[in-house]
């Protein structure tokens, strides 16, 4: 990088995790089961039969992990709350012990000068609600709002930054269309219905926050910019469909009052004309949008690939991560600038960005050397700064992830952490990427 980088003085540097991926003890102290406990229990659903019964044992080791955040100098920590710890049946009776855990975590963060940023839903739906249809039941907007109100009333003030959902696209594409994630359904109609109910629930919770809360609330979406493999009309149309399905599907109804027209083109009769009143609810004004960026995709028209009729085109000269994602920092800049151009100047946070690479065992010097992740981190910092220089109102960056953790159906096989976790001993070891990130935070980017 040839020019000293300076980020805004109050730029918020942090890290991100999610409850089921790190906490362990999923049924401790009165907690109810989630759909992810059920999903992991079905042989073949998760690589190597991995599950979240222990994970990073964060439920018991949270003070140790906060101390590591302090060691890295982090200013913020984005984490999610397990709905079924708070409401074991998903609705009704509150489990005070569940609230108490998150209260202890929040107080530990605040005592160490770290801002808690809470995600209400990061995929671990209470199993009891799934028994009632889960995201397919329109009542879930009220169930989610009731859950949100419990947290707003308990923590707002100590928590000043709330996000309703994490990556609604993954919830529906993985959980209801392709069945690769909990609850493992494969149904086009269900995917459409779940997606819309997620957005209704989001809007309803934001509306409730305006009655209950005094600080900021937003949503976190994954954005994967799409680039055409050629300028043929077929490939350009495929790119448009892919962008609508994965990216615009969730931001258009919030900021533009309607879903992209391509949704009917993709889903056909499985995509109804949703009630107009729903868009009044979904379109609640947000204080920020969180963007999760990992990669881009270059796409071509492929009639055989249902329902999108799109296929990715591998880039021969590129570096790919262990999750098969192209390392493409320019896509991060493009994503942030595209948001500004299409939706305006709502403040943005990069709420997840990182990379999974094979980490060599701990070296003789006691360190875990992860040069590829270090290289990616450096490149992504440049991409962030380019977006700032192009006028994007970017407020902060949360690296994914603080710890190696349960990578959903990939189990523990993919390591995204800047801190290595030995899952046999629970030993944490800072990787070189953690040391670089600490320098970035301490110098506000000037070290790059
Ligand atoms: N895969 N992958 C890494 C990461 C996943 O671990 C997070 O839980 C999701 O929010 C998002 O998909 C990104």
Q: What is the pTM of this model?
A: 0.98
Beta bridge partners of 12: 396
User: Buried (b) or exposed (e) across 16-55, using 16+ Cβ within 10 A?
Assistant: bbbbbbbbbbbeeeebbbbbbbbbbeeeebbeeebbbebb
Mean of pLDDT values over 130-146: 98
Question: Nearest Cα to 79, choosing from 194, 161, 24, 136?
Answer: 161
- CA of 123, closest atom in ligand 1: 8
Closest-CA residue, ligand 1 atom 2, reads 407
**Inter-axis angle of helices 329-343 and 371-389, nearest 10:** 30
To which residue do tokens 């690296």 refer? 399
Of the residues 108, 262, 352, 407, only one is catalytic, namely: 352
> Residue 14 burial (CB < 10 Å; 0-12/13-18/19+)?
buried
Assign 263 a pLDDT band (cuts: 50, 70, 90).
Answer: very high
Per-residue DSSP letter, 336: H
407 is catalytic: no
Per-residue DSSP letter, 126: B
pLDDT exceeds 70 at position 3: no
Q: How far is CA 38 from CA 25, 35, 184, in A?
A: 14, 5, 10
Assign 391 a pLDDT band (cuts: 50, 70, 90).
Answer: very high
**Contacts of residue 231, Cβ cutoff 8 Å, sequence gap at least 6:** none
For residue 304, count other CB atoms closer than 10 A to its CB.
6
Q: What are phi and psi of 310, to 5 degrees?
A: -135, 145
pLDDT exceeds 80 at position 4: no
Please measure the distance between the N-terminal and C-terminal CA atoms of the chain and give it in whole angstroms: 7
pLDDT digits (tens, 9 = 90+) for 291-342: 999 999 999 999 999 999 999 999 999 999 999 999 999 999 999 999 999 9
**Contacts of residue 92, Cβ cutoff 8 Å, sequence gap at least 6:** none
Q: CB of 407 closer than 6 A to ligand 1?
A: yes
Chain-centroid distance of CA 130 in Å reads 21
Structural tokens at position 428: 């944490």
Q: CB of 352 closer than 6 A to ligand 1?
A: yes
- Alpha-carbon distance of 359 to 300, in angstroms, equals 33
Q: How far is CA 186 from CA 77, 109, 139, 177, in A?
A: 34, 40, 22, 4
Which regions of 81-123 does DSSP assign to beta strands (E)?
115-121
- Alpha-carbon distance of 148 to 208, in angstroms, equals 8
pLDDT exceeds 70 at position 248: yes
User: How confident is the model at residue 180, as a pLDDT?
Assistant: 98
Cα 93 to ligand 1 centroid, rounded to whole Å: 30
Could you report the predicted ipTM of this complex, rounded to two decimals?
0.99
167 is catalytic: yes
Contact 19, 124 (CB under 8 A): yes
Q: CB of 57 closer than 6 A to ligand 1?
A: no
Mean of pLDDT values over 132-160: 98
Structural tokens at position 125: 């739906």
Contact 36, 124 (CB under 8 A): yes
Q: CB of 297 closer than 6 A to ligand 1?
A: no
- Alpha-carbon distance of 20 to 26, in angstroms, equals 8
Assign 366 a pLDDT band (cuts: 50, 70, 90).
Answer: confident
Mutate to test the pocket of ligand 1, among 79, 223, 320, 352 (most ligand atoms within 8 A of CB): 352
Cα 239 to ligand 1 centroid, rounded to whole Å: 23
Q: CB of 243 closer than 6 A to ligand 1?
A: no
Q: CB of 162 closer than 6 A to ligand 1?
A: no
- Alpha-carbon distance of 90 to 129, in angstroms, equals 6
The mean pLDDT of the chain is: 97
Q: CB of 124 closer than 6 A to ligand 1?
A: no
- CA of 408, closest atom in ligand 1: 6
Q: CB of 167 closer than 6 A to ligand 1?
A: yes
Q: CB of 416 closer than 6 A to ligand 1?
A: yes
- CA of 323, closest atom in ligand 1: 1
pLDDT exceeds 70 at position 1: no
Mean of pLDDT values over 217-224: 99
User: How confident is the model at residue 2, as a pLDDT?
Assistant: 54
Mean of pLDDT values over 222-243: 98
Question: Nearest Cα to 159, choosing from 63, 61, 78, 70?
Answer: 78
Per-residue DSSP letter, 132: T
Closest-CA residue, ligand 1 atom 8, reads 18
Percent of the chain with pLDDT over 90: 97
Contact 420, 359 (CB under 8 A): yes
Mutate to test the pocket of ligand 1, among 246, 324, 398, 400 (most ligand atoms within 8 A of CB): 400
User: How confident is the model at residue 348, as a pLDDT?
Assistant: 98
Cα 407 to ligand 1 centroid, rounded to whole Å: 7
Chain-centroid distance of CA 134 in Å reads 20
Cα 170 to ligand 1 centroid, rounded to whole Å: 9
- Alpha-carbon distance of 188 to 177, in angstroms, equals 6
Contact 60, 333 (CB under 8 A): no
Per-residue DSSP letter, 270: G
- Alpha-carbon distance of 15 to 345, in angstroms, equals 24
Mean of pLDDT values over 121-142: 98
pLDDT digits (tens, 9 = 90+) for 43-78: 999 999 999 999 999 999 999 999 999 999 999 999
- Alpha-carbon distance of 170 to 427, in angstroms, equals 31
For residue 131, count other CB atoms closer than 10 A to its CB.
12
Chain-centroid distance of CA 255 in Å reads 20
Lowest mean pLDDT among 79-93, 117-131, 204-218, 356-370: 356-370
Q: CB of 292 closer than 6 A to ligand 1?
A: yes
Mean of pLDDT values over 2-31: 93
Of the residues 115, 167, 190, 407, only one is catalytic, namely: 167
> Residue 7 burial (CB < 10 Å; 0-12/13-18/19+)?
buried
């Amino acid at each position: 990088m040839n020019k000293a980088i300076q980020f805004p003085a109050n730029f918020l540097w942090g890290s991100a995790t999610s409850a089921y991926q790190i906490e362990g003890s999923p049924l401790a102290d009165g907690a109810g089961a989630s759909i992810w406990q059920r999903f992991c229990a079905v042989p073949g659903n998760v690589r190597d039969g991995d599950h979240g019964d222990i994970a990073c044992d964060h439920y018991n080791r949270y003070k140790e992990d906060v101390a590591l955040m302090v060691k890295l100098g982090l200013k913020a920590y984005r984490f999610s709350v397990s709905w079924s710890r708070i409401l074991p049946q998903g609705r009704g009776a509150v489990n005070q012990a569940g609230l108490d855990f998150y209260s202890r975590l929040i107080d530990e963060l605040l005592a160490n000068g770290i801002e808690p940023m809470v995600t209400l839903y990061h995929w671990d739906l209470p199993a009891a609600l799934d028994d009632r249809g889960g995201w397919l039941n329109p009542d879930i907007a009220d169930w989610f709002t009731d859950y949100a109100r419990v947290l707003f009333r308990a923590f707002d003030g100590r928590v000043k930054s709330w996000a309703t959902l994490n990556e609604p696209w993954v919830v529906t594409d993985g959980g209801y269309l392709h069945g690769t994630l909990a609850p493992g359904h494969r149904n086009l109609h269900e995917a459409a219905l779940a997606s819309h109910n997620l957005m209704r629930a989001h809007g309803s919770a934001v509306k409730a926050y305006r009655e209950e809360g005094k600080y900021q609330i937003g949503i976190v979406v994954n954005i994967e910019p799409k680039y055409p493999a050629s300028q043929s009309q077929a490939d350009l149309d495929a790119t448009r469909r892919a962008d609508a399905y994965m990216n615009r599907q969730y931001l258009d109804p919030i900021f533009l009052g309607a879903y992209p027209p391509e949704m009917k083109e993709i889903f056909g009769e499985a995509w109804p004309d949703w009630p107009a009143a729903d868009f009044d609810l979904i379109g609640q004004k947000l204080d920020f949008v969180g963007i999760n960026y990992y990669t881009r995709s270059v796409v071509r028209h492929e009639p055989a690939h249902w329902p999108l009729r799109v296929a990715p085109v591998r880039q021969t000269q590129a570096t790919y991560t262990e999750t098969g994602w192209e390392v493409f920092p320019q896509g991060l800049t493009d994503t942030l600038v595209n948001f500004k151009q299409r939706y305006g100047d709502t403040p943005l946070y990069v709420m997840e960005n990182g990379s999974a690479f094979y980490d060599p065992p701990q070296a003789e010097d006691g360190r875990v050397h992860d040069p590829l992740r270090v290289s990616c981190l450096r490149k992504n910092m440049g991409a962030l700064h380019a977006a700032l220089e192009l006028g994007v109102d970017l407020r902060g960056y949360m690296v994914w992830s603080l710890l190696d953790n349960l990578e959903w159906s990939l189990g523990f096989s993919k390591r995204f952490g800047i801190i290595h976790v030995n899952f046999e001993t629970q030993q944490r070891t800072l990787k070189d990427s953690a040391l670089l990130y600490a320098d970035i935070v301490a110098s506000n980017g000037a070290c790059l």
